[in-house]
Amino acid sequence: MPLTPSSTFIPSTNVTWDFADHVVLITGAAHGQGAAHAKAFAEAGADVAICDIAGEMEYIDYQLGTLQELEEVAQAVRDVGQRCVSTVCDVRKPQQVRSFVDQTMSEFGRIDIAISNAGVGSTARFVDMPVEQWSGTIDTDLSGSFYVCKYAAIPMIAAKFGRIIVTGSIASFGGLNHCSAYTASKHGVLGLVRGFAPELAPHGVTINLVCPTAVDTSMNVPLGDGDQSSVDWNAQATRIIGSWNLLYDGMIHAREIVEAAMWLASRDASGVSGTALKVDGGCTCK
């Protein structure tokens, strides 16, 4: 069952982007936010390299991306006339991330933009949380982002240009109940971005964090806190998120995060690095 975005979302009618002759690498792109990034950058003229774990993870209680979905995203990129590399990659494994970057370089010869989007959300009281659930979340969201940034930055430094964008969260700034591993990982990626920015700046490479409130993707299915096969969970999740936000009455639309990422990836944001761009409906200012 798809999530329903906020009824207050107003689609943009006049914002256009031109990423012709750019290569964009995106992790966690089989569905959800990563797929939205891949399709939007392709529509804006970019060639795209995408990956996903394309399988299940223990202790994750929602549907992760599948190989079929990954190939459907790749085909959507090709359907608008752009080239696409797609592969299975578990970002918890640095050798697989490096191989994905190498494959992208072999195919395209460059990486202009890297979006470290792969991530998981897990819920449990921290006193009851299995250590495997903790490590799985930290290894994916924090260490996985480190590996993507590390290996994607190498060709960018050589080229003296690059844009790295990491998916953060409102959990990068405060605690979320029963989400201690996720909160720790998203605080961590904020530190990662701030730590990497000074090292990348002399090479013309920027790195930034995009921090959404809950987006209408499958990761937020468990927010319903009940039987996810029931029609009631979506309404319940919408009420929960709506109570957080000032500007939305439910889930934020994935396209709003795409627009933020596209601005950070553009040459118009050449003076922006080491920052966290909140697209959070105003919830973190309360």
Task: Provide the CATH number for the domain around residue 239.
Answer: 3.40.50.720
Amino acid at 94: P
Is residue 64's pLDDT more than 90?
Answer: no
144 or 179, higher pLDDT = 144
Q: Looking at the domain assignment, is residue 261 inside a domain?
A: yes
Q: Looking at the domain assignment, is residue 18 inside a domain?
A: no
CB 40 within 8 A of CB 113: no
| Number of domains the chain is built from | 1
Is residue 141's pLDDT more than 50?
Answer: yes
Q: Looking at the domain assignment, is residue 264 inside a domain?
A: yes
Q: Which domain holds residue 242?
A: 23-280
Q: Looking at the domain assignment, is residue 155 inside a domain?
A: yes
Q: Looking at the domain assignment, is residue 10 inside a domain?
A: no
pLDDT tens by residue, 223-271? 544 444 444 544 555 555 556 667 666 667 778 889 999 999 999 999 9
* Catalytically annotated residues: 182
Q: Looking at the domain assignment, is residue 218 inside a domain?
A: yes
Q: Looking at the domain assignment, is residue 31 inside a domain?
A: yes
pLDDT tens by residue, 9-28? 555 555 689 999 999 999 99
Q: Looking at the domain assignment, is residue 14 inside a domain?
A: no
